[in-house]
């Protein structure tokens, strides 16, 4: 037996980008965005943090690959039927629900355009807009409007998820938010005061659908 510090055994099963991405998703889902570090990831994969860089360019690359994996699954499972308008609702709800279960996906979509997941969503929405009979010249704007609305909600939901745990009473928290918004000068915030009650107990998913419907109604006026 020697005194020299023993190097760890080399891992038997080869690492791969897929395995790394799956491990990252597991960490993100169970412990949140902040918990995903290369050290935590390396520990979970029983390897050195540097090994990950052999398969993944950097943290942004890793996050985009994880987001793409989730969105791919969602898109594969979305049931497109009952006409193009309902199909768009289904696609949008698919993304919404994915963000609900994987809030970090929301942050990623909202803050990183040009990733593969964005192309997938755009494609799915665009095809349904064509089926809906939206004139060709208006299709890009219509798709981008729906997409941007979805991304806006995505960012907000990701932020809301970051509070989970720290905030136990959602209504009380939202009440304190509304109070802070209006406190600088209550007479300056008549609208916020009016909707404060609805803010406290509104259903995010239902409000999301209402927004999609509003944009669809607007698209319906296009000729």
Tell me how far apart the alpha carbons of residues 199 and 73 are, in angstroms, rounded to a whole number: 32
Instruction: Name the minimum Å distance from CB 80 to a second copy.
Output: 14
Q: How many residues bind DNA (CB under 7 A)?
A: 24
Looking at the Cβ atoms of 45 and 142, the one nearer to a second copy is: 142
Task: Pick what 10 binds: DNA, a second copy, none; C-beta below 5 to 8 Å, kind-dependent.
Answer: DNA
Instruction: Name the minimum Å distance from CB 189 to a second copy.
Output: 5
Instruction: Name the minimum Å distance from CB 38 to DNA.
Output: 4
Q: Name the segment binding DNA (CB under 7 A); options: 38-46, 80-88, 96-104, 184-192.
A: 38-46
Burial (0-12, 13-18, 19+ Cβ within 10 Å), 212: buried
Looking at the Cβ atoms of 57 and 217, the one nearer to DNA is: 57
Looking at the Cβ atoms of 47 and 86, the one nearer to a second copy is: 86
What's the number of CA atoms in the CB half-sphere (13 Å) around residue 168? Answer: 0
Alpha helix segments (H runs only) across 11-115: 17-31, 38-44, 49-55, 59-77, 83-101, 103-111
Task: Pick what 184 binds: a second copy, DNA, none; C-beta below 5 to 8 Å, kind-dependent.
Answer: a second copy
Looking at the Cβ atoms of 46 and 144, the one nearer to DNA is: 46
- Cβ proximity of 92 and 129 under 8 Å: no
Binding site for a second copy (CB under 8 A): 107, 110-114, 116, 118-120, 122-123, 126-127, 130, 139-145, 147-156, 158-160, 177-178, 180-182, 184, 188-192, 194-195, 198-199, 202, 207, 210-211, 213-222
Cβ neighbours of 7 (radius 10 Å)? 6
Tokens at 186, concatenated? 């209550």
Question: Measuring CA to CA, which residue among 161, 31, 179 is closest to residue 96?
Answer: 161
Tell me how far apart the alpha carbons of residues 164 and 169 are, in angstroms, rounded to a whole number: 10
Contacting residues toward DNA, per CB under 7 A? 7-11, 14-15, 36-40, 46-51, 53-55, 58-60
């Amino acid at each position: 037996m020697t005194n020299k510090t023993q190097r760890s055994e080399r891992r038997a099963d080869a690492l791969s980008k897929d395995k790394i991405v799956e491990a990252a998703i597991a960490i993100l889902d169970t412990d949140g965005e902040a918990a995903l570090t290369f050290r935590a990831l390396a520990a979970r994969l029983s390897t050195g943090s540097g090994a990950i860089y052999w398969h993944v360019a950097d943290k942004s690359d890793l996050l985009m690959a994880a987001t793409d994996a989730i969105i791919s699954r969602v898109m594969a499972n979305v049931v497109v039927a009952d006409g193009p308008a309902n199909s768009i609702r289904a696609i949008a709800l698919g993304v919404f629900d994915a963000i609900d279960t994987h809030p970090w996906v929301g942050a990623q979509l909202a803050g990183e355009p040009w990733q593969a997941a964005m192309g997938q969503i755009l494609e799915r929405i665009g095809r349904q807009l064509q089926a809906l009979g939206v004139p060709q010249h208006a299709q890009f704007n219509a798709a981008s409007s729906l997409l941007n609305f979805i991304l806006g909600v995505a960012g907000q939901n990701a932020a809301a998820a970051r509070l989970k745990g720290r905030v136990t009473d959602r209504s009380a928290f939202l009440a304190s938010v509304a109070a802070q918004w209006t406190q600088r000068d209550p007479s300056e915030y008549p609208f916020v005061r009016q909707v404060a009650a609805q803010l406290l107990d509104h259903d995010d998913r239902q409000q999301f659908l209402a927004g999609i419907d509003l944009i669809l109604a607007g698209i319906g006026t296009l000729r």
